[in-house]
Chain A
């Protein structure tokens, strides 16, 4: 049973695990008897793999999708167990792992990558992670040759330089008996404009576009003095060592009226942009009976 598909309580031989060595230091390893890992931190924590940890630690072959975009795309494409999804391009497989997690055990991912090397690596990764049963990987230039699927998928995800070239084929791949969804992921507004034009021409409706970014916040304790403490001509009292998060009663404020307060503010190293997310709906085709 793949550890990506289900949780297991203990590590088994050959399992993929994520090594935690610090807040921004995650490292995937395969646990094999007889092998050694050198580590100079003095401790290590071995974590069960999840798509989120994989996204943070996987070897990049291309720019990847991060959790904020992955999350909103998953929800707005209405993905869930049993969904059939089309993804192009596979890239480094960041989103692919997340998609499989969401649609398993009854759904299926059809993923396309035009670069031979990357397509092969992604396919090998799915095999190694025990996910091959959920994904059909193809090496294919979908803008030239289409997806080769008809009336099959519930949702399509396009991460391409020229998504408008794949809209017609994506439309063909989507089911026609019920409403289906499409998402296009593009960094540039010009790409978005052309994609929306193509979507409109091909009969897609409910076109919406968003950007979605994470804001991480830092929290730290500081001692705040009243101004009167500064007014004295006498040398300033020493400030006690500040301990973040420890029980407040242990901390000794430096002077009367001084308070240990939490400062909360967004982190300075924030993301400004990942990509624009364009969503659209393809309505089911009209049945004979509706024509009056």
Chain B
């Protein structure tokens, strides 16, 4: 049994005063997690299931249309996830959580109710629009209005229990004066954009994003290289899972440094400090444009971050713990450019919204001696409704969420015949890192020598799964 560590302290962050040249990513003041802070970006979920993203600035009124308006100061310091009812004066009180299934409240006197004798007619509802407007003006609570609507419906009692529950749920979506502030994190943002504006995040669905994170072994103390054209969705998810430990270098399309989504995560400064970003034309200028690049190589995009030259040098040092690619450019070309900087026995994970865009890359990797465990993956992700006697998959589901190529990088090398003596193997040349150098093979058949050896010994080609037409050993691999 091990001792439980100290409770996680709030991150030590000094209150950030925006500089005159506004830093693109500033951290809000530290406070207790799970509690709404001034300056937080939050997601407000309305009874209609519409969602609004906004920043909670103090001393502001927020208008929610028919659902009412409230003062932001009333929200600051309150817990996330709780529904709040808007009362007189724009104040907020914690609301009762409306049960998702209204079945309990739908009293059914008629046991074998069905819709055989119900005729759909607007006249069934005797409460007029004017009367509803009056109720709203009198600030009757949403629940009161709904109760009135139900009692004014001439055919309501004839409905089946399930039908009543459905009806009540619909009315709640229109008349409740409530909202729920939801904490922004990678999963929430991924879902929000996938449903509201999928083009922004390159149609990446949460199940594929989560698979990307585990496949790339994203965790504290990693040093990762990322090519991110998803407006920062991938970067935000990676930073969240690194928790402020380690280092993330993000290369992106030259035309825009747009990591919007990172901003919405309300990260503490410690996390933002692990992030370095650089446009691809600053990290990898064309040889013929080096002079032009030199002219502004020592610029910093902002004062606290390294210059283009320093970041370029950082990347060229290589030895990254993983490569993640989600690019607008052809993924094969991006992997060719960045893979040399990844250490061996480390993951390379490539995302694209369209499976066929990953096919050439998958084939190259499978045929190449530089990668093993190459997989081309999509996911099936289906939600279900679970209600008493009404359990079934939901009527609508997402048809696609993107695709991944996942691979492990290894060092390519000459195939070494097992007839070599130990001395000859040592003489082949040794290296402990870098993909371009040959590695000293660890030969288990002879027993290890006890001294640390690099992680690689590869001879010959490999079988890749079933049903594949595998290349016969070709000249150049020098296998005896």
Residues of A within 8 A of B (CB): 5-7, 9-13, 17, 20, 22-24, 31-39, 42-48, 50-52, 67-68, 70-72, 74-76, 78, 80-82, 98, 101-102, 104-108, 132-138, 177-179, 189, 192-193, 196-197, 200, 205, 207-221, 241-246, 262, 264, 266-267, 269, 276, 278, 281, 283-284, 286, 290-292
- B378 interface residue per 8 A CB criterion: yes
Closest chain B CB from A281 CB (angstroms): 6
Return chain A residues, CB-CB under 8 Å to B209. Answer: 75
Return chain B residues, CB-CB under 8 Å to A11. Answer: 442, 452-455
- Taking residues whose C-beta sits less than 8 angstroms from the other chain, chain B's interface range is 35 or more
- Interface pair A20/B372, CB less than 8 Å apart: yes
CA of A286 to CA of B433 in the docked complex: distance in angstroms?
A: 56
Q: What does DSSP make chain B's interface, helix, strand, loop or mixed?
A: loop
Known interface pairs A71-B210, A213-B380; 10 further A-B residue pairs with C-beta atoms within 8 A, sorted by A's residue number: A42-B459, A45-B410, A47-B455, A75-B213, A81-B245, A106-B220, A179-B34, A200-B101, A220-B467, A244-B363
Interface residues of B in 362-397 (CB under 8 A from A): 362-368, 372-373, 375-386, 388, 391
- Interface pair B464/A106, CB less than 8 Å apart: no
Interface residues of B in 326-346 (CB under 8 A from A): 343, 345-346
- Interface pair B386/A245, CB less than 8 Å apart: no
CA of A78 to CA of B4 in the docked complex: distance in angstroms?
A: 21
Return chain A residues, CB-CB under 8 Å to B8. Answer: 82, 106-107
Shortest Cβ-Cβ A-B pairs, 10 listed? A178-B34, A81-B243, A245-B367, A33-B450, A179-B81, A245-B363, A43-B459, A75-B210, A71-B210, A290-B94
Return chain A residues, CB-CB under 8 Å to B455. Answer: 10-11, 17, 45-48
- B399 interface residue per 8 A CB criterion: no
Return chain B residues, CB-CB under 8 Å to A267. Answer: 465
Return chain A residues, CB-CB under 8 Å to B79. Answer: 177-179, 283-284
Return chain A residues, CB-CB under 8 Å to B379. Answer: 68, 212-215
13 sampled A-B residue pairs with Cβ under 8 A:
A34-B450, A43-B415, A45-B456, A47-B408, A76-B187, A106-B220, A137-B1, A207-B100, A211-B384, A217-B403, A219-B366, A219-B376, A284-B79
Closest chain B CB from A110 CB (angstroms): 9
- B313 interface residue per 8 A CB criterion: no
Return chain A residues, CB-CB under 8 Å to B418. Answer: 42
CA of A46 to CA of B366 in the docked complex: distance in angstroms?
A: 18
Residues of B within 8 A of A (CB): 1-2, 4-5, 8, 32-35, 79-82, 93-94, 97, 99-101, 183, 185-187, 206-207, 209-211, 213-215, 217, 219-222, 240-245, 319, 321, 343, 345-347, 355-356, 359-360, 362-368, 372-373, 375-386, 388, 391, 403, 408, 410, 415, 418, 432-433, 442, 444-450, 452-460, 462-472
A43 to chain B: closest residue by CB: B459
CA of A108 to CA of B2 in the docked complex: distance in angstroms?
A: 10
- Interface pair B445/A52, CB less than 8 Å apart: no
| B219, B321, B458: the one within 8 Å of A101 (CB) | B219
B457 to chain A: closest residue by CB: A44
| B33, B242, B472: the one within 8 Å of A178 (CB) | B33
| A38, A210, A217, A269: the one within 8 Å of B377 (CB) | A217
Return chain A residues, CB-CB under 8 Å to B222. Answer: 7
